Structure 1
Amino acid sequence: MKKAQVVSIEKILQGVTFLPDRKPGMTGKGVEGAFATLGEYRDGGIFVGHYAGLSEWERHPADEIVMVLEGQTTLFILEGEDEKPNILNEKEMIVVPEGTWHRFETPKGVKILSVTPQPTDHRISHPLDPAAD
């Protein structure tokens, strides 16, 4: 059995570096340092990140919780054929439903916390694109 453990989000964020120009498909050294794991949770984890720019499309096998700690981002959720924008300001959160494709646009920067189930599916191109990656 795991023991309960207090985690300082602020302390973890002090060790995270700002990624000023996130782009879809960036992995490894491209995003190294901009994200950190706070801990494991169910079939995934609790993560923080500090970045500006664009994410790729992603979806998860269960609901994902996304909370803005500082800054602002727009979370686009694919509903049918429409991309629904959800503007998230500091101290706001959203629950992304299980299996729902979504992506982030963050022009100025955000510090974000997510409770993210794994595995995550990623796509650079739009999920409805017949030639999607």
Structure 2
Amino acid sequence: MPKAIDVEAVLGTLTPLRGRGPETVEADEGEAFATLASFDKGAVFVGSFDGESPWERHRGGDELVHILKGETSLTILTDNGEHLLSLKAGMLTVVPKACWHRFSSPCGVTVLTVTPQPTEHSTADDPR
């Protein structure tokens, strides 16, 4: 059954993850991210952090990324090379299916994503 979700209220319950990096484990991310709703083969997520995420990719489909607050650099690896997007509050992008990507946000970012599952992660310099 459809329901309305107060994104700001959910964000108010989260604790931003500080200093995210390669050594950050999933257990440390639990209080910084929340699942808002199921969506197709994945879900709608929100989260706040600063630092750098590991590489990730989604073989199940494209991922929508919407920046709610702050700013980030999003690196996407495609067959045509590396693409760097500078995103700030109010902007969005779509990460193509199966492309490795990661966020870098030294000053902090709050994101809303529509993410297909499963998600693969890598801490390699270049996961391709």
Give the TM interval when normalised to the shorter protein: over 0.9
* Structure 1 unmatched runs, 5+: 129-133
One-letter code of the match for 1:118? Q
Work out whether 1:67 is the aligned partner of 2:66: yes
* Count of residues in Structure 1 that have an aligned counterpart in Structure 2: 126
Separation of aligned partners in 2, 1:21 and 1:121? 21
**TM-score, scaled relative to structure 1:** 0.90
Q: Give the AA of the match of 1:110.
A: V
Greater than 4 Å deviation, 4+ residue runs: none
Q: 1:73·1:89 contact (CA, 8 Å) conserved in 2?
A: yes
Match of 1:131 in 2: none
d(CA) in 1 for partners of 2:122, 2:108: 22
State percent identity of aligned pairs.
Answer: 40
- The correspondence for 1:27, drawn from 19, 25, 28, is 25
For 1:119, the aligned partner's letter is: P
SS at structure 2 position matched to 1:12? helix
Aligned to 1:76: 75
Q: Determine the structure 1 residue equivalent to 2:9.
A: 11
Per the TM alignment, residue 115 of structure 1 is displaced from its structure 2 partner at its CA by: 0.2
Is the Cα–Cα contact under 8 Å of residues 25 and 56 in structure 1 kept in the other structure? no
Do the aligned residues in 2 keep the contact of 1:57 with 1:127 (CA within 8 Å)?
yes
After superposition, residues 39-78 of structure 1 pair within 5 angstroms as 39-60=37-58, 61-78=60-77
Gapped runs of 5+ residues in structure 2?
none
> CA 1:25 to 1:42, structure 2 compared with 1: closer, same or farther past 3 Å?
farther
Give the conservation status (yes or no) of the 8 Å contact 1:44–1:115. yes
- TM, length-normalised to structure 2: 0.93
User: Per-residue deviation at 1:29?
Assistant: 2.7
- Measure, in 2, the Cα distance between the counterparts of 1:67 and 1:15: 19
Distance 2:57 2:5 in 1: 26
Does the 8 A contact of 1:46 with 1:113 survive in 2? yes
Deviations 1:36-80 (A, max 9, x none): 010110110000001000011111120000000000001100123
